[in-house]
Structure 1
């Protein structure tokens, strides 16, 4: 059984590993010429780290990650703690897998190391997908036709495959953009920052946590805006983040002042779909369900997609592939769509103006934290027996 996976991001690599574990011969095609260290911090809740353990990759990933003991939500103006949730060993014991924070490149590197080089085709741009009753194929920009029993389109938020399968449907600008930066942890050691915190303010919020075994502080500062070009490499203008967050707690402003190189990117999503597959071709990850990152579940959902896809396609015949994809989508679509909606609602909640609504939100969050030990990011989709892979 042969599969072609399009896109060597987190979702595409995880799908390749999962399908190979299910006995498939996989060709992973990627349009870039080489893998580069793109992006910054990433968070993996137990629903994703459980899958990494199953793939035999958790130890390698965890060795480069941090395991936060807890998450604090703070007020923008003075850093007053709204509420705090447990993570760390407590969450790992409760959910059977750890909550990790790490550099995206470290996760990407661990996944890539699990894929043989002979299975990867870089500098290969796909310009079309086709299929018939017995096989599927992709056509490359060089005119080459690559055939397989299955095509998995993990080609990201700007997925061309999604358009080829289901018609015109463009990525949607969320109305928010983000500054992201990495600082040596020593540069902020004396500020008294919480270990892992989300600071909430009018039309803005800021997240910070440690990566690379705690050596670096990852900062993501989100703000409402009317324009936001989607780019991982576009740099913010000097002083721009400090101006955008002027008047915030002095510790936040100091972090932004010391950030040095700051990137700015517009946050885009995709509208929910009623189906992800057509015949022998399926979407996976951001191409199917790109979401705002306000519940730290974008990469995790792609990793779970990959695990469920591998489960669905274990021990199938070529004729059974379309039905197996139907099963994969049935197990995943409802949850991923719910996570999209929950993430969007979290953004609205985070950005309330000062006043009665924000005070009501703070009271609601405090009451929730008092009644529940674990942060929504860790708990909400940690078990997922209806759509997650069988626990190892």
Structure 2
């Protein structure tokens, strides 16, 4: 049994590892000519780290990560703590796997090392996909035709395969953009910062947490903007981030001022689909359900996709692949679509203007933390990727 995975991001690499464990010969096709250290921080909730443990990768990932003891939500202007949600040992005990924070490149390196180099085709752009009753085929920009029993499209928010399967539906700008930066620990040691915090304000919020074993502080500052292009490499104009967050708590402004390189990117999503698969071809990760990052679940949902995909296809005969892909989509689509919608709602909640609505939100968050300990988004952490049963 052979599979072609299009896209060597986190979802595609995890899918390749999962399919190999299910007995498939996998060809991983990536249009970039080489792997680079794109992105910055990434968060992996227990639903994702449970999968990494099953794939034999958790120890390597955890060795490059930090484990925050809690998340602190704070008001934008003076840093008053709204509430504190439990993480650390409490989350690991409750959900059967840790909550980790790390540099995206560190996760990518672990996943890349788990895929045989000979199965990876870098610098190979896919321009077409087709299929018949017995196999599926991708066409590359160089004119090659690669054939397999199935094709998995993990080619991101601007997926070529999605367009080929379901027609042109462009990525949608969310209305929010973000600045991101990494600061060495020594440069922020005097700021008395929580290890992991979200600062909430009118039309904006800021999140920071430690990556690279605590050597770097990852900072993401989200703001409403009429337009912004999707790019991991676009630089902010000098001082732009300070003007956008003028009047915020001095610690937030110090972070934004001390950041050396500040990147600016527009946050894009995809409209939910009624289905992800056609015959022997299916979508996975951002190509299926790109979401705003306000519940820190984008990568986690792609990782869970990969686990369920491998489980659904294990033992399938060639003729049974379309039915197995149907099972994969049935098990994943509703949950991923729900997380998409919940992430939008979280962003709206974070950005409420000062006044009665924001005060009611703060009281609601504090009451929930007191009653439950964990955040509302923890409802997505407890399902086992294979059997759907709670981890605990």
TM interval, short-chain normalised? over 0.9
Equivalents in 2 of 1:142, 1:55: separation in Å? 34
Distance 1:360-1:217 versus aligned 2 partners, 3 A rule: same
Alignment-derived partner of residue 305 in structure 2: 305
Q: 1:383 offset after TM fit, Å? A: 1.6
Q: CA deviation at 1:376?
A: 3.2
Partner of 1:248: 248
Deviations 1:203-260 (A, max 9, x none): 0000000001111000000000001100000000010111110100000000100011
Q: Secondary structure at the match of 2:261?
A: coil
Task: Give the C-alpha shift of residue 168 in structure 1.
Answer: 1.3
Instruction: Spell out the pairing of 1:107-146 with structure 2 (5 A cutoff).
Output: 107-146=107-146
Q: Cα distance 1:43–1:164, how it changes in 2: closer, same or farther (>3 A)?
A: same
**How far 1:201 moved relative to its partner?**
0.1
In structure 1, the residue matched to 2:280 is 280
1:363 partnered with 2:363: yes
CA distance in 2, matches of 1:32, 1:348: 35
Contact 1:304–1:388 (8 Å) recurs in 2? no
Q: Could you tell me how far apart the structure 2 residues matched to 1:172 and 1:335 are?
A: 21
Given that residues 280 and 322 in structure 2 are in contact (C-alpha distance below 8 angstroms), is that contact kept between their aligned partners in structure 1?
yes
Using the size of structure 2 for normalisation, the TM-score is: 0.98
Equivalents in 2 of 1:186, 1:21: separation in Å? 42
Match of 2:37 in 1: 37
Determine if contact 1:307/1:389 at 8 Å carries over to the other structure: no
Distance 1:389 1:196 in 2: 29
Report 1:338-353 matches (<5 A).
Answer: 338-353=338-353
Offset of residue 186 of structure 1: 1.3
Q: How many Å apart are 1:195 and its aligned residue?
A: 1.0
Compared with structure 1, are the counterparts of its residues 385 and 101 closer, same or farther at alpha carbon in structure 2 (3 Å cutoff)? Answer: closer
Corresponding position of 1:175: 175
Partner of residue 292, structure 1 = 292
What is the SS of the residue equivalent to 2:15? helix
Alignment of 1:4-23 (within 5 A): 4-23=4-23
The secondary structure found in structure 2 opposite 1:330 is helix
Displacement of 1:161 in angstroms is 0.8
Distance 2:364 2:80 in 1: 16
- Give the 3 Å change call, closer, same or farther, for CA 115–220 of structure 1 in structure 2: same
Q: Which runs of 5+ in 1 are unaligned?
A: none
Tell me the CA shift for residue 96 of structure 1: 0.5
Tell me the SS of whatever aligns to 1:293: coil
The alignment covers a number of residue pairs equal to: 391
Whether the 8 Å CA contact 1:308–1:389 is kept in 2: the answer is no
Could you tell me which runs of 5 or more consecutive residues in structure 2 were left unpaired when the two chains were aligned. Answer: none
